[in-house]
Structure 1
Amino acid sequence: MPPDLRIRVGSRTSPMAVAQAEHVRDLLFRSGEDLDVELIGIETSGDRWQGDLAELGGKGTFLKEIDRHLLRGDIDVAVHCVKDVPGDVPLPEGTTFAAYLPREDVHDVVLFPAGSPYRGLDELPAGARIGTAAVRRKAQILRKRPDLHVDRIRGNVNSRIARFDSEGRLDAMVLARAGLRRIGMEHRAVEVLSLDDMCPAVGAGVIGVQCRTADTGIVELLRLLDDPRTRTHVTAERTMLRDLRGRCNSPIAGHCTTTADGQLSLLGMVFGRDGGHFACAQERDTLDHAHELGARVAAALARKGAHRLIAGTAR
């Protein structure tokens, strides 16, 4: 590495995005190289928009804004939640995810207002109102509890929790446990949903570090942060997402793991709007066939009507 290398790390300006960028910065400092790392916050249209993100084209729209900063050379590294990266469009030419950090907890959790007598979704009465920002969560909540009302609530996690506490209109809210942990609010989680009840989003719990492929020194440095197991799992999941032409706001769930006997296992699920209709497929393969595994699960889901379900939810 060149001596005194300066690296500009870009991210959105939400508290969670800043926490993720700070984590990457700290890992870079621990790499043993003599580095000057600068954090650069980028406010996107999604951060300013107060409506439904689907009206802007989903989270992928403002990820493209960060991509433009990377391609222009305003920043050297971009930090993303992998679950927010669409699967239906390739990364900008000349960029790559040089590192996937070790995967964190993929469970979703339930928050309740202060003083609530309830400790789990099963305890809520019929007609109770649940808040979530994800169609994937909405479908799975309604699949188990069709008698509940699920309301879309958007904004960064901090603002969602603030509105949840101040407005008093929701009986519970579902969020990612890893996200709460990153912003120091894991104590708000009351119930941890099982993976049987809430299959995670593709890329859940993973921070991806993107850079320009031409910056070979930075690519090599970021490779030191890369977790091979996480990369393998993400490759299978995102191949499935790509083949289904899924966006980050599509009703698609996917979770890849390594089994006790050293095989890859990928579970994929696609949901209808209310969770009453869904397609599910699970396959196994060897560790060196992550792409093939993802493609096979996507094909199995397509045969079971996944594209019809995705199109129906988009309307």
Structure 2
Amino acid sequence: MPSAAPDAGPRHRAPSRVVRASPCALGLLRPLLSLRSPPINRTSSRAVRREYRARGEGRGLRERAAFCSAAAVTGAGGSRGHPDVTSGGGAGPSRGAVRAEGRGGVMAEPGAAAVSRGLAGAGGARGGGRGGRGVTGRPLTRLLPQGENGVGGRAVRVGTRRSQLARIQTDSVVEMLRELYPDLSFEIVAMSTTGDKILDTALSKIGEKSLFTKELENALERNEVDLVVHSLKDLPTSLPPGFTIGAVCKRENPLDAVVFHPKNCGKTLSLLPEKSVIGTSSLRRAAQLKKKFPQLEFRDIRGNLNTRLKKLDEKEDFSAIILAAAGLKRMGWENRIGQLLSPEDCLYAVGQGALAVEVRAKDQEILNMVSALHDADTVLRCIAERAFMKRLEGGCSVPVAVNTMLKDGQLYLTGAVYSLDGSDSLKETMQTSVNYPQKNEDGPNDDVQHVGITAKNVPGQAQEAAENLGVELASLLLSKGAKHILSVARQLNDAR
């Protein structure tokens, strides 16, 4: 990570103290708080992490919410008058309080994710000085009204799902934003989505395109939150009107991983006994692994990571389950990975391992703020993957898989489609140059989207090249019969 610019001189911080809001100020805040309907549980990110460590993985959401509400009341950085609302990410008075000398975010230097020399300026470092400059070199819109520590006099509200993994992912994004904008406070708004509520049906059978995003986008549309953190693979390739992906963070390992039942520790899939049952609700994973390991059986398994691991460990139904390596790493469970599946064994899902920040497309303050989180390599790879998926009209109801690599200014994309049993498939690889210079010219195309992504700090020509790569590869597969393979797969899946 690029280093921060040195301070002009030594900083002396006054001792932390509790600041009590005046009755007048509370009177002004209550009408604003009362507008948030229906009420949504808002909990401190740091309090949640402390609570998970203290209580373990098996407790219910009701207990967690009660603990976090108590933590907010006892000084987790929250509002004293409203124990279910926290700001400043639970960092305490020193974080939540207004700082007199801000060091506004600046993207002034090439980031580690820059693609050759052409992407200089796509990453960046925080610069000194009050206010700073935005990722495109233009001055940032003033996000911090005088005397306040949020947008429009309130905290920046960050929407997320309630699961432990979603909260950890959101915490990581908020921490990055807090590093860039230390004068802002952040409030995390957690809610359940359709995908969280329907746990007895395979995702591919539900038929809803926005299983894990719809409720969050509804809150974004109603101005109940200012931005939403998603796993990018959960976001459809076509977003609802008025929304955009304002940031794609640096990608974690996108590969799939095998977690074995304790009695099978030390084995690999090829060493499991014949007829061993492997748990996965992904048609993509099942199709590829059925072809490579025909001696194994594959069965749906639903639930969050905690639930699926519990089903694996406490019962004899599964010999192993397949999960995303990125999720296991973020949860701190890397030690449970018994086997990493290489792209030769199993191509991964579009966007897997990347986090996305969705915002209102016309909210320039928030869009400019989150744009600093873009990782240029990840943006270009995911644009190509999403364009490939969109051209194929794929989704979780058909087996579509990818692998991307960016090296020496060349973007490589491998894409494949499969029948449900993996017996029929098409797989091809193409490449294109994305080594283009960044242009800092103002114009009508500043906020152009590429498969839902707005990335003003990544060269527009490089984004166009990445999108064209995905479209061209998909068109090649369609010309070879991919449409028939996917059509049959979709019909068979619906009939199951």
- TM-score norm. by structure 1 comes to 0.95
Does the 8 Å contact 1:83/1:248 carry over to 2?
no
The residue aligned with 1:238 is 386
The residue aligned with 1:304 is 480
Counterpart residue type for residue 395 of structure 2:
R
Q: Write out aligned runs for 1:34-113 (5 A).
A: 34-52=183-201, 53-58=203-208, 60-87=210-237, 90-113=238-261
* Counterpart check, 1:276 vs 2:423: yes
Distance 2:246 2:317 in 1: 43
Does the 8 Å contact 2:191/2:216 carry over to 1?
yes
Deviations 1:201-253 (A, max 9, x none): 11111000011122211111101111111111111110011000111343101
Counterpart residue type for residue 478 of structure 2:
A
The residue aligned with 2:164 is 15
Deviations 1:63-89 (A, max 9, x none): 1222111111111111111112223xx
The residue aligned with 1:184 is 332
Give the drift of 1:45.
2.4
- Return 233-242 or 51-60, whichever deviates more: 51-60
Distance 2:310 2:405 in 1: 34
Counterpart residue type for residue 168 of structure 1:
E
Task: Answer with 1 or 2: which has the greater Rg.
Answer: 2
Give the drift of 1:265.
0.6
What is the DSSP-based 3-state SS (H/G/I as helix, E as strand, rest coil) of the residue aligned with 1:2? Answer: coil
Q: Structure 1 residues 133 and 101, CA, compared in 2 at 3 Å: closer, same or farther?
A: same
Q: Structure 1 residues 117 and 223, CA, compared in 2 at 3 Å: closer, same or farther?
A: closer
Deviations 1:114-138 (A, max 9, x none): 1326510110122111011211100
Give the drift of 1:12.
1.0
Counterpart residue type for residue 27 of structure 1:
M
What is the DSSP-based 3-state SS (H/G/I as helix, E as strand, rest coil) of the residue aligned with 1:294? Answer: helix
Counterpart residue type for residue 73 of structure 1:
N
Distance 2:358 2:323 in 1: 25
The percent identity for this pair of structures is 35
Deviations 1:94-152 (A, max 9, x none): 11111000011011111111132651011012211101121110011111011210001
- TM-score norm. by structure 2 comes to 0.61
Distance 1:84 1:56 in 2: 14
Give the drift of 1:2.
2.4
The residue aligned with 2:296 is 148
Give the drift of 1:262.
2.1
Counterpart residue type for residue 102 of structure 1:
K
The residue aligned with 1:2 is 143
Counterpart residue type for residue 159 of structure 2:
G
The residue aligned with 2:175 is 26
* Counterpart check, 1:220 vs 2:396: no
Q: Structure 1 residues 117 and 215, CA, compared in 2 at 3 Å: closer, same or farther?
A: closer
Q: Write out aligned runs for 1:120-269 (5 A).
A: 120-259=268-407, 261-269=408-416
Counterpart residue type for residue 162 of structure 1:
K
Q: Structure 1 residues 249 and 24, CA, compared in 2 at 3 Å: closer, same or farther?
A: farther
Counterpart residue type for residue 287 of structure 2:
A
Q: Which runs of 5+ in 2 are unaligned?
A: 1-141, 435-461, 492-496
Q: Structure 1 residues 19 and 108, CA, compared in 2 at 3 Å: closer, same or farther?
A: same
Q: Which runs of 5+ in 1 are unaligned?
A: none
Deviations 1:158-213 (A, max 9, x none): 11111111122111111111010111111100111111111111111100001112
Which of the pair is proportionally richer in strand? 1
Does the 8 Å contact 1:86/1:248 carry over to 2?
no
Counterpart residue type for residue 143 of structure 1:
K
Give the drift of 1:32.
3.1
Distance 1:116 1:234 in 2: 35
Distance 2:241 2:208 in 1: 21
Distance 1:58 1:141 in 2: 25
Does the 8 Å contact 2:284/2:401 carry over to 1?
yes
Does the 8 Å contact 1:97/1:208 carry over to 2?
yes
Deviations 1:234-285 (A, max 9, x none): 11110011000111343101122113x3211100011110111111111011
Cα RMSD (Å): 1.4
Counterpart residue type for residue 313 of structure 1:
A
Give the drift of 1:50.
2.2
Structure scoring higher RCO (CA < 8 A, sep ≥ 6) equals 1
Give the drift of 1:26.
0.7
